[in-house]
Amino acid sequence: MTAIKNGITAGNGAQATTTPAPLPKMSAPGASTAGVNIIGLVKADYKGLESTLCNGCGHDSISSQIITACYELGVKPEHIVKFSGIGCSSKSPAYFMSRSFGFNALHGRMPSVAQGALLANHTLQGLGVSGDGDTGSIGLGQFMHLIRRNLRMVYIIENNGVYGLTKGQFSATADVGQELKHAGRNEFPPIDLCRAAIVADCGFVARSFAGDPKQVVTLLKAALCHRGTAVLDIISPCVTFNNRDDSTKSYAWGKAHDERINDIGFVMSQEEIRVDYAEGETKEVELFDGSKIVLKKLDGSHDPTDKQAALRLLTEAHEKQLFITGLLYINTERPNLAETYHLVKPIASYQQDKLRPSRESLQKIMSAMY
């Protein structure tokens, strides 16, 4: 069996670009034919291997939305690098975009591996998939430090509040007082990873629900255009171990308690077409590549550029055991990690001529050592 599917239609042999290039070159509007995106690829070019997760798993739905988002944006699969930790969620990068390199790291350690890889080649777009155990427990430290450094990558948390591969223990995002068949009663309050991300100065924090493909795709597209770390916490119910109707991570709870704060229409500046743009109060946020997201406030009250408001909103929702979906906080001002290090060409592209200083320079150092 091969990871390469049919339908490779374009993009072979292009040289690596030397500037951040998450977005493909645009073809003229109206040039694409049916089923072919703006860089001439069909959706099958974004496919991965067959999933081995449980039937109906929310994670598979998210994988599909990743494929849709990248296909619709026209991201070249070879420009994406997939990362994950360990757990059900972390297996999923194998199930989308086989033409992208992937690194399935250690439990909780995806952030460090992603930082190394994307500092070695900062022209690539990172797309990480982690879980609530992977991020909220064993990997909490690396998660916070990744955000603190502001590496440009999309960080998806497939959040189901439970450890699936080890058969149903509580994770750090499980609801207090929740009961599970094997684990009993959870005595501790959940860590809200969106609040944690905002506290660590994350410039893009959003929450969604795996069963809401339209919102997931929209948020993913926006996240892919963010200049720094974009955290996307997606409630993704576990069909096997955590889908009791009274769990906040169940489908039933999600559908009933999903309070949308804004509807986001994502607009690529190159296209100048607004998708799903509605009347009413709007707010435009410019992303680093010139594209904009336009926020439509359904309830007209949340300003996602207001950090205090975002924290207040999440704190109140936390107390009511509600999850607010949509873009919670955005700040596009912070320089990302590659910018902080003033990187121009990918470090990994340098060869001996630039990597080994001259013979004379060593002699000079040696003569100073006497």
Partner 1 sequence: MLRDYTAPITAAPRTPQPVQETSASPLQREPIVNDFAITVATKNGSGSQTSNAILLRALFKMGIPVSGKNLFPSNIQGRPTWYTIRLSKDGYLARRETTEIMIVLNPDTILEDHQNTAPGGVFMYADDIKLPVRRSDLHYYAIPVKEMARQHESDPKLRTYVANMVYVGAIAQLLGIDLNEIEAALMFHFKGKPKPVESNMKVVRAAAAWAAEHLIKTDPYRVERMDKTKGQIMIDGNTAAALGAIYGGVGFAAWYPITPATSLADALNEYLPKLRMDPETQAPTYVVVQAEDELAALGMVMGAGWAGARAMTSTSGPGISLMAEFAGLGYFAEIPAVIWDVQRMGPATGLPTRVSQGDIIAAYWLGHGDTKHPVLLPGSVYECFEFGWRAFDLAERLQTPVFVLSDLDLGMNQWMSKPFDYPEEPMDRGKVLTEEQVNATKGFARYKDVDGDGIGWRTLPGNESPYAAYFTRGSGHNERAMLSERADDWENNMDRLARKFETARKLMPPPVIEMVEGAEIGIIGFGSTDPAIQEARAMLETKGIRASYLRLRALPMNDDVTMFLASHKRIYVVELNSDAQLCQLIRLHSPKDAEKVYPANHNDGLPLTAHWITEEILYQETRH
**DSSP letters spanning 83-149:** EE-SSHHHHGGGGB-TTSEEEE--TT-HHHHHHHHHHH-TTSEEEEEEEHHHHHTTTHHHHHHHHHH
Any contact of residue 273 with partner 1 (CB under 8 A)?
A: no
Give the nearest distance from C-beta 113 to partner 1 in angstroms.
4
Per-residue binding letters, 17-46, with partner 1 (x by CB under 8 A): ----------------------------x-
Q: Is 357 exposed, middle or buried (0-12, 13-18, 19+ CB in 10 A)?
A: exposed
Q: Which is nearer to partner 1, 8 or 311 (CB)?
A: 8
Q: Which is nearer to partner 1, 315 or 361 (CB)?
A: 361
Among 20, 102, 128, 161, binds partner 1 (CB under 8 A): 102
For residue 117, CA distances in Å to 32, 80, 105 come to 33, 12, 12
Binding region for partner 1 (CB under 8 A) out of 174-182, 264-272, 311-319, 345-353 = 345-353
* C-alpha–C-alpha distance, residues 133 and 162, integer Å: 7
Give the nearest distance from C-beta 359 to partner 1 in angstroms.
5
What residue has token string 């049916």?
A: 34
Any contact of residue 150 with partner 1 (CB under 8 A)?
A: no
Among 28, 50, 256, 342, binds partner 1 (CB under 8 A): 342
Sign, CA torsion 273/277/283/288: negative
Q: Which is nearer to partner 1, 76 or 207 (CB)?
A: 76
Residues with Cβ within 8 Å of residue 175, at least 6 apart in sequence = 161, 186, 190, 247, 248, 249, 321
Any contact of residue 370 with partner 1 (CB under 8 A)?
A: yes
Q: Which is nearer to partner 1, 123 or 215 (CB)?
A: 123
Residues lying near partner 1 in the complex (CB under 8 A) are found at 1-4, 8, 11-16, 45, 49, 76-78, 81-82, 93-94, 98-106, 109, 111-121, 123-124, 141-142, 145, 341-352, 354-357, 359, 361-362, 365-366, 368-370
